[in-house]
Amino acid sequence: MDCKLVQQDLSAFVDGTLGARRQQAIEEHLNACENCTRELQWLHLILDSAATLSPRSATDSLWTKIANELESQAPRPAVRWRHALSARFSEAISRITVPVPVSQLLGIAAVLLFGVILGRYFFPPTGPEAPPFQKKPGQVQLTSRADTYIEKSKTLFLGIMNADLADLTKSDWKFEKEMAGSLIYEAAHLKEEYSRKQDARMKELVEGLEMLLLQIAMLENQNDLKEVELIQSGIERKNLLLRINLYDLAPPQDKRLDRSL
């Protein structure tokens, strides 16, 4: 038998995976061939050395490295408003249709303000002035927090309502989710305060917004058009933008708030 052919099969021979006849033939050849027997011994040495390689252990600090990496990848529980307002979200806001150019609007506002100043100069009020509304310090703080919460929610909802659903393949809703997450914390505080003050209407408004914020915060990372559409219809169905606008239009003293909604 050819030594070259035998040596090609030595690996299968030591594993015992050759057919019985081939196994037998090689054994007979090995009994007669010193060269192939030496090859077999070397193969044994390689395999025995491989089987007795010492197991290795990682250093103790490896877990610390992994844990640090996990920590750095973990999403932050809440983010500041300025950071949360992403460029993509700003772009969505900018797509809100405004029929009149901004410069013209500013011009009209300046003319109106000038008119009011002139009117008060030439026709000063004659009757007794209404006393200014006095807010208690705690109430000022609460109203201001509610204003911020409602204003941010409005911006978020407008962004969602005006989002281009055809372009959602590139979006992961990361910033919207983060913003909604931070607003939910604020909602919890506001609800507690309004419960304490027995201001049912204000509590109801905060809760109404909170429901939608929860849905936004729980959006999947991959785009789920159905979920987004549900949120859009929720905003519409509950007239949230209208309710926010009514809140915005109410005079400051009424934002405590029994008459604004």
Residues in the site for another protein, rule: CB under 8 A? Answer: 11-12, 14-17, 38, 42-53, 55-59, 62-63, 65-67, 69-70, 73-74
Residue of 223, 209, 202 whose CA lies nearest to 158: 209
Q: How far is the CB of 75 from another protein (least distance, A)?
A: 10
User: What distance in Å separates the CA atoms of residue 231 and residue 236, rounded to the nearest whole number?
Assistant: 9
User: What distance in Å separates the CA atoms of residue 165 and residue 227, rounded to the nearest whole number?
Assistant: 11
Q: How far is the CB of 58 from another protein (least distance, A)?
A: 4
Nearer to another protein, 63 or 114 (CB): 63
Nearer to another protein, 17 or 253 (CB): 17
Nearer to another protein, 48 or 129 (CB): 48
Question: Where are the strands (E) in the chain, listed by range?
Answer: none
Do 149 and 186 contact (CB within 8 A), yes or no?
A: yes
Pair of tokens at residue 143? 């109203």
Q: What is the dihedral of CA 246, 250, 252, 255, to 10 degrees?
A: -60
Q: How far is the CB of 4 from another protein (least distance, A)?
A: 12
- Overall residue count recorded for the chain in this entry: 261
Q: How far is the CB of 117 from another protein (least distance, A)?
A: 59
User: What distance in Å separates the CA atoms of residue 201 and residue 149, rounded to the nearest whole number?
Assistant: 15
Nearer to another protein, 57 or 134 (CB): 57
Nearer to another protein, 46 or 225 (CB): 46
Q: How far is the CB of 7 from another protein (least distance, A)?
A: 9
User: What distance in Å separates the CA atoms of residue 3 and residue 135, rounded to the nearest whole number?
Assistant: 104
- Sign, Cα dihedral of 151, 154, 158, 160: positive
Q: How far is the CB of 32 from another protein (least distance, A)?
A: 20
Pair of tokens at residue 50? 């491989």
Q: How far is the CB of 213 from another protein (least distance, A)?
A: 22
Phi, psi of 254 (to 5 degrees): -95, 0
Nearer to another protein, 69 or 207 (CB): 69
Nearer to another protein, 167 or 224 (CB): 224
